[in-house]
Amino acid sequence: MSHQQPGYQQPGYQQSGYPVARRSGGTLVVIGVLLVLIGIVAGGALYVSGKQNYSSKVKNLVTQSGALSGCVTDLTFEKPGMYTLYYVSKGSVRINGANDGCASADVVPVAADPNPPEIALKLTNSDGKTLRLSAPASSTVIRDSGVVAEPYRQVNISVVGDYQLEVASPDTGLPFALGVGPAINKTSSLLALVVGLVGVVFGAGAVLLGLAQGTGTAASPGYGAPYQQSPAQPPSASPPRQAAYPAQPQRPAMAPPVQRPAQPGAQRPTQAPGARPQQVPPTVRQPQQGGAAPTVRQPQQPASVPPPVQRDAQQRPQQPGTGLPPIVSSLDESGSISSPPPTQRMPSSGWERQPAPPPTRPLTSQRPVPPPPDPDEDSD
């Protein structure tokens, strides 16, 4: 098993992530929260604004255009339109009467019967022309800022200018007042409620959709502190490699040849089948006394062959699986290798391969060349 050696890691900059942009889920959550807040704030603002506007109109009705019963009051209309005369049974009224006792710089508190009595009203312009008064279209009672008022009559002013209002009524002992101004409608909170609900519903839907998509942040690679080396990873064992070729069966180990000492009278060892015969050194005869030494030719050295196994021919076992006696070769008197007599093949069960007999090649015995005859001896 081989292990991967940890390599050298060059120190560098460590990457770090920082948020760059929110995903679509986070954006929807933010938008939803903003819509909810906008809906609540807008609805509340509309409700508060309507209440303030309503209260302001009621106060102006009794403080700027009040007329007491039994008085003639000067009125100034700056805009044409439909105006309403309210019967004020409770509140503090500032009057501006033309006759004595009907003009006062201070506010006058009134507390009369909530049900209006029979009142005689007369409205004339600067030319002395009397205008026609009609019943109001609405009978909604106004109750705000300590003032209780009810629509009594209405008039259409087509020409702006100064007018006089004369109020005559039976003496009941309880003073009342008349307020003149545009029709005051109570501000409905329905609009504020609708605006608030729309913002809350859409905002909640956006928040739920954003939570369903996820609120993670996308991180982009950055650079951290320099020269920070990451911790070395432990060596991991590589998977064993498979051989490119199928594994071959292992051959049994062959024991080294054993050399045994030769016994007296034993024949020379045989050669292995198919091996070249070993060259035998030539026999050199000694020349006669007084003669010249013969010239001996050395045979060429054959190719190197492995030495034969030195075994005793008598103790050599039979060839396995053949049932044949051992092959014994010997040298004859002429120096040639004599082959053993052919052996008879023993019958066996089945086909068996017989080893081929070793080739024989006679070796010529190198004999010394006799010296040339001496002419002196021939003459004798």
pLDDT over 50 at 223, yes or no: no
Q: Does the residue 84 lie in any domain?
A: yes
DSSP string, 101-143: TSEEEEEEEEE--SS----EEEEE-TT-PBPP-B--S--PPEE
Looking at the chain, the whole-number percentage of residues with pLDDT higher than 70 is: 45
User: What is the count of structural domains for the chain?
Assistant: 1
* Structural domain harbouring 109: 63-181
Q: If you average pLDDT over every residue of the chain, what do you get?
A: 69
Give residue 145's pLDDT.
78
pLDDT tens digits along 339-360: 555 555 555 454 555 566 666 5
| Beta-sheet strand order (sheet of 72-77) | 72-77, 161-168, 120-124
74 Cβ neighbours under 8 A, 6+ residues apart:
96, 97, 98, 162, 163, 164
Q: Does the residue 69 lie in any domain?
A: yes
pLDDT over 70 at 194, yes or no: yes
pLDDT tens digits along 292-317: 555 555 556 555 656 555 554 444 55
Give residue 6's pLDDT.
52
Q: Does the residue 88 lie in any domain?
A: yes
pLDDT over 70 at 4, yes or no: no
pLDDT over 70 at 218, yes or no: no
Give residue 156's pLDDT.
92
Can you give 59-84 as a three-state secondary structure string?
Answer: HHHHHCCEEECCCEEEEEECCCEEEE
User: Could you tell me the pLDDT band of residue 319, with boundaries at 50, 70 and 90?
Assistant: low
Cα–Cα–Cα angle for 277, 326, 348, nearest 5°? 125
Q: Does the residue 327 lie in any domain?
A: no
pLDDT over 70 at 221, yes or no: no
Q: Does the residue 377 lie in any domain?
A: no
pLDDT greater at residue 138 or residue 248: 138
Give residue 115's pLDDT.
85
Contact call for residues 112 and 176 (beta carbons, < 8 A): yes
CATH code assigned at 78: 2.60.120
Which DSSP state fits 351? -
Q: Does the residue 86 lie in any domain?
A: yes
pLDDT over 70 at 334, yes or no: no
Within 10 angstroms of residue 267's Cβ, the number of other Cβ atoms is: 16
